[in-house]
Chain A
Amino acid sequence: MRKFVIYIFLFAIISCADDTELTDSIYVADSENPELTAYSEWGYNTFGIVYERNVFTYSNNVVPLKVIVDTNYVSFLMQGQMNYDYMALKISIPDSSITSYQDLLNYNNTIISLAAEDIFVEMIEENTSYKLNILSGELNFLSIKRLMVDNIEEGIILSGEFNLKFVKEGIPESMSNGRFDFAVNDAIFFAF
């Protein structure tokens, strides 16, 4: 009887299993720096960047990207961890044309200078937020494509590279060799 209950319980778990592979993060190690994910254009929901001597990268515990549209700005909030502590980077770009995640296709093959005056970059470590004074940096959308699964649109794939130099709390720091690969759909797109 006890075994029967266990089997029923296991069957219930299996039956309720949902396909989350397109929203999960898929880790493929970079061949030169295995702490970073390799650059990809598969919508693996990962990012990684060398921050000084550490690596700021995605975490399985938080949604790695949220796209937030608010008062003529579109913000890319990359959430992850560094040394197992929560960390996030929010890049806000002035753009009033974005009303849905499909509009992000317009950024395909676009390089955005993060040192521009009207672009804001914010770093969040644990509960503290820092506005960064950007010295130089780029956000390069190398490839943005529609993601079709069995001929049904499931979102878009947003892939690219980024790096920046900045002053934080009076100390110059750098982030380099960054890459990202996200599957973006309505679930992570927020318009206010």
Chain B
Amino acid sequence: MRKHFLFLLLVICARQLVFSNNKLFGEELSSELLSHLYLNVSIGNQFYDCLSPDYDFVRASTNYYSSYESKTLSYYFDQIFADVKIEYRFFEEKLWLSSGLRYSNLLSSLGKYAYYENSSDYFYLTTNNDENTSNFYRVQNIDYSAHYLGLPIELRYSPFSLRFIRVFFKAGTEFNFLFQENKSVDFKTTEMENYEGDILDLFDSSPGLYGSVYLGAGIHLGRPGKTGFRLEANFPVFPFCSGSFGLVEPVFGGGAEFSIVFPLKF
């Protein structure tokens, strides 16, 4: 409920910023300019294909020779985002340039995939070893949840329209900055939770700067100058970051985005 309230507040503030006496940053906005400006509120999700992490402190788990990985770990990297953007349409309303503020939640997880019914759902990980002892820990999952605030920049090209449906293509990039990170380890036995810090120390943290470049296409429902709805697919999405991606390494991805677009001039 609190999240919904904050989101609504953000939308209202953005609109107020533009509408208040038709002034933006103290400068008078012409009616003509306003007619080309839209407020774009979006939510989206992106899944990434990841590289197999080859951690030398994780015990292998296949009992046959194959060209596949000897560590049957499962992993994913997912981005959920919501943003508020101002969109400026020009070149006979065929080009739409937008930018704003984006909140992203990057979720990544490393676990054990049970290929067969008698496979275990945990993997063995080793740390705190000495000359005489090998310590194994049974871990079911390691989860990261990283929160970012960022700046998306997107350019859409809408070559044609059919009544109130417009098809468009887009190219975009985003730069996100980490402001909070939560990590957790699910052990096979809860008694081992005291060792969570030791396990997490083995893995890199989420990157301070995370971004991506992407292409996409979609449809916009609504007449020019009216409130519209937009559904678009992002593919491919190529991520980049400062240093290590953290738990797993995403290679490329794709996703979907839904937006409500408000005209700034009624």
Q: Which residues of A contact B (CB under 8 A)?
A: 10, 13-14, 17-21, 24-29, 34, 41-44, 60, 105, 108, 145-151, 154, 157
Tell me, in angstroms, the Cα distance from A60 to B119 when the chains sit together. 16
Tell me, in angstroms, the Cα distance from A174 to B134 when the chains sit together. 33
Q: Residue-by-residue, is B114-132 near A (CB-CB < 8 Å gives 1, otherwise 0)?
A: 0001111000101001011
Our count of residue pairs bridging A and B at CB distance below 8 angstroms stands at 74
Are B63's CB and A27's CB within 8 A? yes
Indicate whether A24 sits within 8 Å of B63 (C-beta atoms), given known contacts A145-B133, A145-B134, A150-B138: yes
Are A10's CB and B117's CB within 8 A? yes
Tell me, in angstroms, the Cα distance from A27 to B124 when the chains sit together. 15
Q: Closest Cβ of chain B: how far from A43's Cβ, in Å?
A: 8
Indicate whether A150 sits within 8 Å of B60 (C-beta atoms), given known contacts A21-B120, A26-B70, A145-B132: no
Q: Which of B59, B133, B189 contacts A150 (CB 8 A)?
A: B189
Q: Which of A14, A27, A149 contacts B136 (CB 8 A)?
A: A149
Indicate whether A146 sits within 8 Å of B192 (C-beta atoms), given known contacts A20-B118, A60-B63: no
Q: Closest Cβ of chain A: how far from B218's Cβ, in Å?
A: 41
Are A105's CB and B132's CB within 8 A? yes
* B-side contacts of A20, CB under 8 Å: 118
Are A26's CB and B120's CB within 8 A? no
Are A150's CB and B137's CB within 8 A? yes
Tell me, in angstroms, the Cα distance from A34 to B65 when the chains sit together. 9
B62: Cβ under 8 A from any A Cβ:
yes
Among residues of B, the one whose C-beta sits closest to the C-beta of A43 is B134
Classify chain B: how many residues form its interface, as a range: 20 to 34
* B-side contacts of A43, CB under 8 Å: 134
Are B138's CB and A26's CB within 8 A? no
* A-side contacts of B92, CB under 8 Å: none
Are A146's CB and B65's CB within 8 A? no
Can you report 23 residue pairs joining A to B where beta carbons are below 8 Å apart?
A13-B117, A13-B118, A17-B118, A17-B119, A18-B118, A19-B120, A21-B120, A25-B63, A26-B70, A28-B70, A42-B60, A42-B126, A145-B129, A145-B132, A146-B132, A146-B133, A146-B134, A149-B138, A150-B138, A150-B188, A150-B189, A151-B192, A154-B136
Among residues of A, the one whose C-beta sits closest to the C-beta of B137 is A150
B61: Cβ under 8 A from any A Cβ:
yes
Q: Residue-by-residue, is B62-104 near A (CB-CB < 8 Å gives 1, otherwise 0)?
A: 1111000010000000000000000000000000000000000
Are B70's CB and A147's CB within 8 A? no
B135: Cβ under 8 A from any A Cβ:
yes
Q: Which of A18, A21, A41, A148 contacts B135 (CB 8 A)?
A: A148
Q: Which of B59, B118, B126, B189 contacts A26 (CB 8 A)?
A: B59
Among B59, B62, B188, residue most surrounded by chain A Cβ atoms (within 10 Å): B59
Tell me, in angstroms, the Cα distance from A10 to B116 when the chains sit together. 12
Are B117's CB and A26's CB within 8 A? no
- Other 19 A-B pairs with CB < 8 A, given A145-B129, A148-B135, A150-B191: A10-B117, A13-B118, A17-B119, A26-B62, A26-B63, A26-B70, A27-B60, A27-B63, A27-B65, A28-B60, A41-B134, A42-B134, A108-B132, A145-B132, A146-B132, A147-B134, A148-B134, A149-B137, A150-B188
Q: Closest Cβ of chain B: how far from A3's Cβ, in Å?
A: 17
* A-side contacts of B120, CB under 8 Å: 17, 19, 21
Among residues of A, the one whose C-beta sits closest to the C-beta of B133 is A146
* B-side contacts of A157, CB under 8 Å: 134
Tell me, in angstroms, the Cα distance from A21 to B139 when the chains sit together. 14
Among residues of A, the one whose C-beta sits closest to the C-beta of B58 is A42
Are A27's CB and B62's CB within 8 A? yes
Tell me, in angstroms, the Cα distance from A126 to B65 when the chains sit together. 24
Tell me, in angstroms, the Cα distance from A10 to B70 when the chains sit together. 26
* B-side contacts of A10, CB under 8 Å: 117
Q: Closest Cβ of chain B: how far from A68's Cβ, in Å?
A: 24
Q: Closest Cβ of chain A: how far from B52's Cβ, in Å?
A: 14
* A-side contacts of B64, CB under 8 Å: 27, 60
* A-side contacts of B60, CB under 8 Å: 26-28, 42, 44
